[in-house]
Amino acid sequence: MALSKGNLKKCNLTYDGQALAVRLEGEVAFEPSVYQGTGEEARKGIVVRLSDGDFTSFQALEEWCKQALQAQTPNVDTLWSASSKLTEKWGAQLKAKINVHGPYCAIFYDDSRQPCKAPQGWKGLHINALLEVRGCYVQRNGAGLLLEVTHLRYGEPPEAAEVECPI
């Protein structure tokens, strides 16, 4: 399927009639931002470092979506922009969107699970997040998942369990 410039096609992903929701634990890799933005934007990109298990799950989801789009978009493999990536320098990561203020703002919680404001500093922040997998998009020059952080709990990372030294 060849789309003209500016056209966007979306397909929703649902489970039991609801948007597909995924719980995620990780660390924010970089301050949320917008390419060539001012920093004042409400909707920003967020990158989260993932566990190996979460990375494997997102890789499988993306592969399933590509296979489902194959009939309508034969070149989906060349268009696909992966949300989950593994690099030597940064490890397993996931890219998503988050609204940090405004009418569609994500809901933020502190360590004690009480509602609070968005964090001031994001880089390195330990988070538990609820992501909605809104679906897939296909444009003339790209395709991928639509991932949105809707709820985010942040705070100190859990302390490592005390382990007695064996030597």
pLDDT at residue 1 is higher than 50: no
Place of tokens 């096609």: 9
CB atoms within 10 A of CB 124: 11
pLDDT tens digit sequence for 118-127: 999 999 999 9
C-alpha torsion 72→134→49→114, nearest 10: 180
Domains of the chain, by residue range, sit at: 21-155
The Cα–Cα gap between 164 and 167 comes to 9
The CATH number given to 21-155 is: 2.40.50.140
pLDDT digits (tens, 9 = 90+) for 138-157: 998 899 999 999 999 998 76
